[in-house]
Every structure is written in structure tokens, then in C-alpha cells.
Structure 1
Amino acid sequence: MSTQPRTAVVIGGGITGLATAALLAREGLEVTVLEKQPETGGRAGSWETGGFRFDTGPSWYLMPEVFDHFFRLLGTSAAEQLQLVKLDPGYRVLFEGQTGPVDIAATREENIALFDSLEPGAGQRLEEYLESSEEVYAMAKKRFLYSTFASFLPLLRPDVLRRGPRLARLLLEPLSSFVAKRFTDPRIRQILGYPAVFLGSSPFTTPSMYHLMSRLDLADGVLYPMGGFHRIVSVIGDLAQAEGARVITGAEVTSIRTEVSGRKTRATGVQYRSPDGTLESLDADLVVSAADLHHTETELLPLELQTYPEKYWQRRVPGPGGLLLHLGVQGTLPQLQHHTLLFTEDWKANFEKIFGKDTSVPDPASLYVCRPSATDPDAAPEGHENLFVLVPVPSDPSLGAGGIDGAGDPRIEKMADAVIAQISSWAGIPDLAERIIIRRTVGPQDFVTDLNSWRGTLLGPAHILKQSAFFRGSNASRKVDGLLYAGGSTLPGIGLPMCLISAELILKRLRGDTGTEALPEPAPWSATADSRPESAGRAAGGDAKPLPAEPSSGDGA
């Protein structure tokens, strides 16, 4: 940007929007966040009823160093803000047609031994696989994840050029074949291929570059923040407000305002519908949209100012849609771990139904069950369990919307019945359906309605080759100065850690920083809060609206 902005408006109060607001406010800007839902959180929302507390989205805490780095940019740390517990086992996998589960351990050494027990010699091959994933992960963090790609010159470094041929092979070979060359046991192949789903894709189309994901769970282990994942949103929201940011909920942005200055068009603010229904304008030198990029471009800007118009999206590949279930269950469920995955035998056909040309809902489906009450006693009343179920389905809003106690669209509720029966059968819980006292379903149409999600996708554009790194698109409008983008639908991609990095990329854009590495962390402040210097953003003040610490609902945009 030619001149440093003094005011900013952030569209969307999910984790990305709040993180962006915190960093911009600390940088000295007067920041306002506009969230269309009654509560903040976006995909990382929360729903409470009958003593149960359900996270409505993300539930895997991976890449802990990314979280800690973000908090340190704000003068604190993950240890100070969150109570993190390491899960052991990290997760359980149930395989169709197999009698026993496979429990992924909390340590690298135990997992190497586990793989050796599943396939002779696989332990040594896993060790080599993890060494490769660690090397690629380190390279990705140093040269790709924290880059805005505003300039490619910083990528022309000896360490990148030296690894060029290998990186090219990893980009061109799919993860599925990369794994198959090294392991024959189908269970191992599925365990190593499933991380592609975290990237909104299939192991048969995801570049093998992303075998780096296996370092996160098999070597580093899986953590859980006590209080649930919405606790992270609450903490970041509190930090944003402490820096001086203002948050307005129930405020739906209807357009991005612009003006022509010389030969350039620049953003001047937004128009939004206030909580009482009136249309209001908010002036700003900088507009950051942390909302869905398709919605931002095609709904909030006129066609002539769209960097990514509808024809662009017609060539894009969405990640999966999702059928979500929030279940409150009487009694205990020791058959399930905190995280449990159910994998179908016909693995490739399952993904083809979700991502292929002629899509359909898999039956049976490979799916994921989270049981936070296994770790967090506050997730459910005593003597009860909390289950969150995610079933990847095609990103097709016509599948319908969910509801409470069977009130969703008939197709969604029928799918939910089948999923409950599948979990009951595979996990050996014959009376599961009869023990459910709370039931809420969410379908692809809900993601459109609540999150303005492109094609109802659960996560965003899939991480296939043409939608990864610099192929994913820019986080800055090419047609409107002072308009930037953040969140899972833009750089660097999908997942909570990526959303925090995305917020940092906004700061790098603001500073004109084209480097590829994370921003340097400030020196730690003194232990006493009173001795901490006031940031310019906090000094700017503002009538900040308190964020609810424990909202009763929230699938905010």
C-alpha cells in the first residue's frame, strides 16, 4: 500500500478475523470487526445445551509451534493462554472388516514399533518417512507457509534451488502412490493417506509434498485445549479487544465501498446491516475480508472490480462438504477414544464419490468421531458423553440443512441415522441410538447460510496442486488497493494454524514484507501486566463490545 492506513475494518469474526484484528490493532490501527452472526467463532463456534458444550468445527490441535508463535507476536504465549493436554493414544482407527482397532500412540518411538507390528519392516520405513516429512515441513515453514508470494525473489534461495528436483517430484506425485511405494499394509496406507482430508482433499489428488502432515500426529502427538476449541477463539478475541479492536456482532456486510483516485480504485470501507436491520456505512483505510473469498469477490464487489469472478471459481475444486452430528449420550463410551476414525475398505471408491465427476454420499462412509468428554469433564454432564461426528460428503448444498432433534431436512436426518448405526456396529456400541438424548445435525446448506461458504464446502478450496502455495491465489485484490484477504479460502490454506498464519500475512502485506519466514517475535514483556507498554492500537481506545466467553450458539461467518 502506498500510504500506511490508520483505520481498518475486518469482515468476519472467526478465528482469522479476530487474529487479524489483534495483529493490526497492535500495529497501531484503529480496527473494527464485523460479524454477521450473534456470536464470534465462525467454523470454530460453540453450541451449548442441557449441560453439553459442543465445538462446532475444528477439533485437532496440531502445529503447536504456530499457535505459540502467534501468541508471542502479541506478547504472550500458548502456555499462558491455554491449558493443553497431550492425548495418549493420539487417536484410534477402526477399519471395515477388521476385528481390532489400531491406536496411534503419543510418541514417535511407539508409532514406529506399532507400524512394525502391522507390517514387518514398516517401522524402519516409517522412520525414514518421518525424516522426510520433517525435512519438507521445515522447508515449508521457512519458505512457503509464511510467504505472501508478493515477490518470488525470496524463493530463489540455495536451499530451495538445491531441493528443486525433489520438490517437483513431491508436487507431481499424489500422496497415495507415494505411500504405496513404501508400505503394503492397507491399514498403514490409510493412516498415512488420511491427512489429505485435513487439507480438504483426497490422497489420490493431494501432492505427496503433504506427507509432511504425518510429522504432526505420528511424531509430535495430538494436543487438546481444555475448554474446547472455542476457548481458542475466546482467548484471541480477548487479546484483540485488549489491543483496542472493536467487535460488532449481528452485523452483516453487504458491500465493500470503493472510490477512484487517479488511475486507481481503492477501498474506503464497507456497508453493513446493523443488528437492528438498518444499513450503515463504516469508513476505513484498509478492508480485510476474513469471510469466504468466493462470497467476498462475487457478492461484495461489482464484477469489474473482481479479481476472482465467478468464471474463476468454475475452474476451482472445492474441498468436501460435511454432515456434522452433535450427540449427547447417556452413559460412558469407552469403545471410542478422544479421536476415532472409521475407514471403509473400498478407500478409493469412497473418495471418488466425494470428489469425482458424478458425486454421491458414500454408504458406508469413512468418518471421524470426536469424544471430548474423554478428556474434558466440562464437555458433558457427569455420567454422559459428548460426541461430534464429521462425515465428509460432496460439497453440494442440495443435500440439505440439518436441525435439532430430527428437525433437519429428511435426507440429512436419514444420513445421520445411517451414520449412528455405522458407529454403533463398528465400535461395538449396540444401544448407541437409544442412549442419545441430544441430537443436532448440520448439512452443506447450513455452511452456505451461516458461513457464506462456496458450494457449501466444509473447509475451502481443496489442496490439490493447482490450488496450493502460489497457485492458491493472492491475498490481495489486484483491482482494489487497500483490500486484502485472509482465512482458509486464501493463503496459505486450510486449518486453524493456517488461519493464524493467514492473519500474519496481512501484517506482512501492510509492512511490505516479502520475506518467506515468520515475523520476528518481540522480546517478552515483564511478568507484570502493568509494566507492559501500551500499543498504539490500545492507546487509540474504542468502545469495544465484550465477546461472550461461552456463547450459547454460533456458526458465525
Structure 2
Amino acid sequence: MSTAHDASGHARSGPEKGSAVVIGAGIAGLATGALLAAEGWSVRILEAREVVGGRAGTWEHGGFRFDTGPSWYLMPEVFDHFFHLLGTSAAEELDLIPLDPAYRVYSQPRQSDPFPPTDVTSGRAAATELFERIEPGAGALLDAYLDSAADAYDLSVNRFLYDTYETTAGLRDPALLRRAGTLAPLLTRSLASHVERRFTDPRLRQILGYPAVFLGGSPYGVPSLYHLMSHLDLDEGVLYPRGGLTEVIRAVERQALRFGASVETGCEVAEITTTDAAGPGRAAATATGVRLTDGLRIDADLVVSTADLHHTETALLPPKLQTYPQKWWDKRTPSPGALLILLGVDGALPQLAHHTLLFTEQWRENFEDIFQSPTRIPDPASLYVCKPSATDGAVAPTGSENLFVLVPVPADPSIGHGGVDGDGDPRVEAAADRVIAQIADWCGIPDLAERIVVRRTIAPGDFVDDLHSWRGNALGLAHTLGQSAMFRPRNASRKVRGLSYAGGSALPGIGLPMCLISAELVLKRLRGDRTPGPLPEPARV
């Protein structure tokens, strides 16, 4: 066992509550540890790998530094709220840069009447002007669409995302019930159908539908309530934390350390230890700590697992204590898997913005390839390219570009493993070759492959090995209607007292902001706070 950091001895802000073990040092684990330590708990955060960050990892090679996970900074008020709970702010902890354009879109080339690339600039006026230019009449429709998206977003933050759903009181609030007529269609209609009722041009439909991928789903599978995502990129704007999303991880880790939590790497948990199960009651046992793979036992009054929830339930607990056993998972939908391609490229790539999206003409078929049986790696694929070197000179050598390419693929570890410099599994590397050729062709970079000086691939098999990811998925449980809000796994075991959950597969869902909220939900449950909104922020001196 190695200890990366130990901040014991630092003052905590509350009275001593007891000892807590947090499994996993991704953003959810670090955030949970920070909030618990600030509350007065003695916290040990245990990470199986030698580095923190989980899915939000980092890799350095040949003078390039790559984020290996999330790369969009959205929902900035969620980050601010988290930091405010701990007496600081995102502005103090991060150097946030607005992106202009927010992103660029390339559509699949047509031999006749090809679409030019489309730059999407945030802000209501710019977004409506773009939509109107592409499709006459669409500007006014987008204005109404974004009004609805902003309303849905406000409703979600204040009524749904911060609710532990220990009771149905929040759902029975008269103010919410009065809106049932508006909410019902948003919950029962798919995002794709919601968009297609309003817009005709395929580019506009894809711009409004693609955020479903950030939710681990398909626009044909997630409910249209999630049109709220367009409020984030089209109304609010897209930010970039200088240094990459790994700087967000470091900032959250600093808070955990500041309040006295320890962060220990190389500590893989093999078992959540409990008292003997007393019977078939709602909570048949009590968590007593964890046992590591090296045999070391660590006692605790509270255990919070932020590891993959399927792994936590089916590998760290015996069958009789599993709230979500394998038969439960057999009926659930994972997010897509991901083929990640990290490329260090010699020379400039002005054809690509900081964020670039490539959309196929066979849009629906692309998602069917991923989610419907039999699955296959889409070819050509709708994909995403991040070029952080457009904004941040520290992530690549001078005169070079840093590319992170994400290709949604089926959640299927049999696709294989990635590698460095083409030494991954043949199926993975062949798919990466096709993607590089697609980017070169669609974006007008004919010599792209010849200019690559660093290459690494990461595939679903790696997500299983590195993160114990269920079926090799990249994000967690997809946000289908049956896996959202009150239908998502709760943040506490029903079978084991003193065992809580946080992370992308538990309440409230996928993404860095959601993981921060999931950490807050652990604290709310411990406090007995059953209100549907965020915790009140302490006054700042």
C-alpha cells in the first residue's frame, strides 16, 4: 500500500462525527471526502490505482499532456456551489476561459451541395442568428426552445438533481404538481422527437440532439426533459479550465486535504466488511469498514463507495447484502463504451476548434449500431474531437497540437484493449485508423496521419480493467426515463446500514457536475436533509 497524500492533522470545521472510508478517488470520491471532512468526519479516501481522478485521468508522453476523460466544463454554478460549501469558489480554484466558438460542427461530406463547417457561438443572440441563417424561421423556434430548456434546467436543479428521494415530498409539492401537464410530455417523448417536431435541417437537429451522448444515451432514448442541456452550451456558454479538466480534480482534492482527509493510492478494496446479516429486514447488516486486496482491514463507522456501482454491489458485497444484484443489472442500459484516441500532432490544425463534432448523415443508424443488438462500431462514426492546444499552450510542445478523440461505441469489452503507438488489439487500432482517416477527410487535413508523433488508444476492455466498469461502459448508467431521477439507484444501500454510494451510476447521474452533486447527497442523507434543492451555502467572510 502506498500513500500519495496524507493531510492528517489539519483542522476540521465541525465536531468529530466518526471515521469514514471513501472507496475511489475520482471526483465523486474526492468531493465526498472533502464534504465529510469539513463536516467533522475522520476520512480516508482509498484509490486502487496509483493516481487519482478515476475517469477524469491524465496521461503525459513526448511533451504532450492529455486529459483521458471529461473535457467539457458545463453547469458552472454546480462547481461554484460545491466550492462555496467549502468556503472557496471556482474563480479562486480554477483559471476558467470562455470558449469562442463554443464548438465547431462538421457534417458528413456530400458530393453535391456539401455543408460547410458550422461554428456554434454561445449566447442567445448568436445562437438564434445561426439557426435562422441555416433554416429560415428556426431562430424564433430556437428562442422558444431555449426558454423551455432554461425552465427545465432550473426545475431540475431545484427539484430533481439534489433530491435524495428518501421521501416523495418533493415530488408531491403542489407547485410541481401544477406543472404536471407540461412535464408529462417532456418525460414520455424522446429528445429526438421533441427536436424533430420543431426543426428540419439535419445540422440543427444534430446540434440539439447530440448532448444526449453526454448523458450516456441516444437522442432516441433519453426523455426530452433533457433538452435542458442546450441551455448550457447555447445560452450559458462553454468554459475551459486552464491546464485541463485534471485541474478540476486537483482543486477538489485540495479541498479534501485542506479539511484533513487522507488520500491513499495503491489501495484496492476487495470487500466491504459488515456485521453478520441479522435477517431479511430492510437493513440486514451494518458496514464496519473495508478489507484491501493485501489483506489489511480498515475499520470505519461509515463507508461510501464511489467505485463503479455494479462492481461495488456484485463484487464487494455478498449476494444476500446486494441492493442491486446481477439480475437487476441484466435489465438495465449502460452508457455507450468509448474508443478514445490521444494524438500528438506535429504542426498546426486550424481546421479544428477547441471542441469539434463530426456528425454522420446516417444519424439514427449510428446510435442503433451502439445500442441495438447486434451492436457494432459505427463506420463512419459521429464523434468528438477536443483540441485543448487551441486554448492552452501548456498541453503540447510549441508548434504541435494535442487531440483527444472520443468515438461512442457499444459497451462491450470484447471490442478489446488499446495501446501506445498502435500496439493495442487489432480491432481497436483498425477502428482508430478509420477514425483518423475520417477526421482527415471531413475536416480537410489530408496529411493528418503522417503528422502524428504520439498515439494512444483506450477501449472498453481498458475501462473494465482500470475502472471495473460494468460492460466496459464509459460513463455509467444511461439516462433513460427508467434510469433517471427517482428511478436511478439511490445513494444508500437498503441492505447495509452505514453504506452510501456516490458517482456516475447513482443519483443524480453522469458527468463531473452530477458527481459533485452525488457527494452532496451523501452529506444531505447523513444530516437528515430531505429537501429537494441544494444545501444552503455558508456565509463567506
- Please point out which of 205, 229, 234 is paired with 1:218: 234
- Per-residue deviation, 1:99: 3.5
Write out aligned runs for 1:294-313 (5 A): 294-313=310-329
Q: How many angstroms apart in 1 are the aligned matches of 2:258 and 2:154?
A: 33
Partner residue of 1:12?
24
The superposition leaves residues 65-114 of structure 1 with CA deviations (integer Å, 9 ceiling, x where unpaired) of 00000000000000000000000000000001234111100322111100
Letter aligned with residue 283 of structure 1: D
Write out aligned runs for 1:189-268 (5 A): 189-260=205-276, 264-268=284-288
Write out aligned runs for 1:169-184 (5 A): 169-184=185-200
2:287, 2:499 within 8 Å by CA — same for their partners in 1? yes
Query: TM-score normalized by structure 2?
Result: 0.95
Q: How many angstroms apart in 1 are the aligned matches of 2:44 and 2:349?
A: 44
State yes or no: 1:516 paired with 2:528.
no
Letter aligned with residue 267 of structure 1: A
Q: How many angstroms apart in 2 are the aligned matches of 1:315 and 1:37?
A: 30
- Per-residue deviation, 1:154: 2.5
Letter aligned with residue 75 of structure 1: G
Partner residue of 1:90?
102
Q: How many angstroms apart in 1 are the aligned matches of 2:49 and 2:278?
A: 37
The superposition leaves residues 469-498 of structure 1 with CA deviations (integer Å, 9 ceiling, x where unpaired) of 011121110000000000001100001100
- Per-residue deviation, 1:142: 0.6
- Per-residue deviation, 1:262: 6.2
Q: How many angstroms apart in 2 are the aligned matches of 1:154 and 1:439?
A: 49
Letter aligned with residue 8 of structure 1: A
Partner residue of 1:462?
478
- Per-residue deviation, 1:146: 0.2
2:17, 2:40 within 8 Å by CA — same for their partners in 1? no
State yes or no: 1:272 paired with 2:269.
no
Letter aligned with residue 514 of structure 1: R
Q: Per the alignment, in what secondary structure is the counterpart of residue 251 of structure 1?
A: coil
Write out aligned runs for 1:132-211 (5 A): 132-211=148-227
1:323, 1:443 within 8 Å by CA — same for their partners in 2? yes
Q: How many angstroms apart in 2 are the aligned matches of 1:213 and 1:107?
A: 14
Change (3 A) 1:262 1:371: same
The superposition leaves residues 11-30 of structure 1 with CA deviations (integer Å, 9 ceiling, x where unpaired) of 00001000000000000000
- Per-residue deviation, 1:153: 1.2
- Per-residue deviation, 1:155: 2.2
Q: How many angstroms apart in 1 are the aligned matches of 2:41 and 2:525?
A: 14
Q: How many angstroms apart in 2 are the aligned matches of 1:388 and 1:195?
A: 18
Partner residue of 2:77?
65
Letter aligned with residue 69 of structure 1: H
* Segments ≥4 residues shifted beyond 2 Å: 260-264
State yes or no: 1:366 paired with 2:386.
no
Query: TM-score normalized by structure 1?
Result: 0.92
Q: How many angstroms apart in 1 are the aligned matches of 2:467 and 2:427?
A: 21
Q: Per the alignment, in what secondary structure is the counterpart of residue 154 of structure 1?
A: coil
Q: How many angstroms apart in 2 are the aligned matches of 1:139 and 1:44?
A: 28
Write out aligned runs for 1:265-414 (5 A): 265-273=285-293, 278-414=294-430
- Per-residue deviation, 1:235: 1.1
Q: How many angstroms apart in 2 are the aligned matches of 1:154 and 1:310?
A: 30
- Per-residue deviation, 1:5: 5.0
Q: How many angstroms apart in 2 are the aligned matches of 1:173 and 1:6?
A: 46
Unaligned runs of 5+ in 2: 1-15
Letter aligned with residue 388 of structure 1: F
Q: How many angstroms apart in 2 are the aligned matches of 1:129 and 1:460?
A: 28
Partner residue of 2:33?
21
Q: How many angstroms apart in 2 are the aligned matches of 1:382 and 1:261?
A: 61
Q: Per the alignment, in what secondary structure is the counterpart of residue 291 of structure 1?
A: coil
Q: Per the alignment, in what secondary structure is the counterpart of residue 271 of structure 2?
A: strand
2:81, 2:537 within 8 Å by CA — same for their partners in 1? yes
- Please point out which of 91, 98, 111 is paired with 1:79: 91
Letter aligned with residue 458 of structure 2: V
1:5, 1:286 within 8 Å by CA — same for their partners in 2? no
Q: Per the alignment, in what secondary structure is the counterpart of residue 497 of structure 2?
A: coil
Q: Per the alignment, in what secondary structure is the counterpart of residue 123 of structure 1?
A: helix
Q: How many angstroms apart in 2 are the aligned matches of 1:356 and 1:159?
A: 39
1:86, 1:106 within 8 Å by CA — same for their partners in 2? no
Partner residue of 2:45?
33
1:8, 1:32 within 8 Å by CA — same for their partners in 2? yes
Tell which has more relative contact order, 1 or 2 (C-alpha 8 A, sep 6+).
1
Q: Per the alignment, in what secondary structure is the counterpart of residue 457 of structure 2?
A: strand
Q: How many angstroms apart in 2 are the aligned matches of 1:100 and 1:185?
A: 14
Q: How many angstroms apart in 1 are the aligned matches of 2:170 and 2:204?
A: 37
- Percentage of identical aligned residues: 62
- Per-residue deviation, 1:282: 0.3
Q: How many angstroms apart in 2 are the aligned matches of 1:243 and 1:117?
A: 52
Partner residue of 2:125?
109
Partner residue of 1:495?
511
The superposition leaves residues 219-255 of structure 1 with CA deviations (integer Å, 9 ceiling, x where unpaired) of 0110000010001101111110110001110110000
Q: Per the alignment, in what secondary structure is the counterpart of residue 348 of structure 1?
A: helix
The superposition leaves residues 3-59 of structure 1 with CA deviations (integer Å, 9 ceiling, x where unpaired) of x95110000000100000000000000000010000000000110111111000000
Q: Per the alignment, in what secondary structure is the counterpart of residue 275 of structure 2?
A: strand
1:72, 1:521 within 8 Å by CA — same for their partners in 2? yes
Write out aligned runs for 1:441-460 (5 A): 441-460=457-476
Write out aligned runs for 1:409-448 (5 A): 409-448=425-464
Cα RMSD after superposing both structures: 1.0
1:5, 1:285 within 8 Å by CA — same for their partners in 2? no
Q: Per the alignment, in what secondary structure is the counterpart of residue 297 of structure 2?
A: strand
Letter aligned with residue 93 of structure 2: Q
Q: How many angstroms apart in 2 are the aligned matches of 1:261 and 1:473?
A: 22
Unaligned runs of 5+ in 1: 526-557
Q: How many angstroms apart in 1 are the aligned matches of 2:217 and 2:303?
A: 30
The superposition leaves residues 423-466 of structure 1 with CA deviations (integer Å, 9 ceiling, x where unpaired) of 00000000000000000000000000000000000101110010
- Per-residue deviation, 1:354: 0.2
Counting matched residue pairs gives 518
Letter aligned with residue 204 of structure 2: I
- Per-residue deviation, 1:261: 8.0
1:55, 1:230 within 8 Å by CA — same for their partners in 2? yes
- Per-residue deviation, 1:352: 0.3
Q: Per the alignment, in what secondary structure is the counterpart of residue 313 of structure 2?
A: helix
Q: Per the alignment, in what secondary structure is the counterpart of residue 153 of structure 1?
A: coil
- Please point out which of 56, 72, 81 is paired with 2:68: 56
- Per-residue deviation, 1:260: 3.7
The superposition leaves residues 170-192 of structure 1 with CA deviations (integer Å, 9 ceiling, x where unpaired) of 11000111101111111100110
Q: Per the alignment, in what secondary structure is the counterpart of residue 91 of structure 2?
A: helix
Q: How many angstroms apart in 1 are the aligned matches of 2:254 and 2:297?
A: 25
- Per-residue deviation, 1:159: 2.0
Q: Report the more deviating stretch, 376-385 or 90-99.
A: 90-99
1:16, 1:500 within 8 Å by CA — same for their partners in 2? yes
Letter aligned with residue 448 of structure 1: V
Q: Per the alignment, in what secondary structure is the counterpart of residue 279 of structure 1?
A: coil
- Per-residue deviation, 1:147: 0.4
1:10, 1:288 within 8 Å by CA — same for their partners in 2? yes
Letter aligned with residue 218 of structure 1: L
Q: How many angstroms apart in 1 are the aligned matches of 2:241 and 2:276?
A: 47
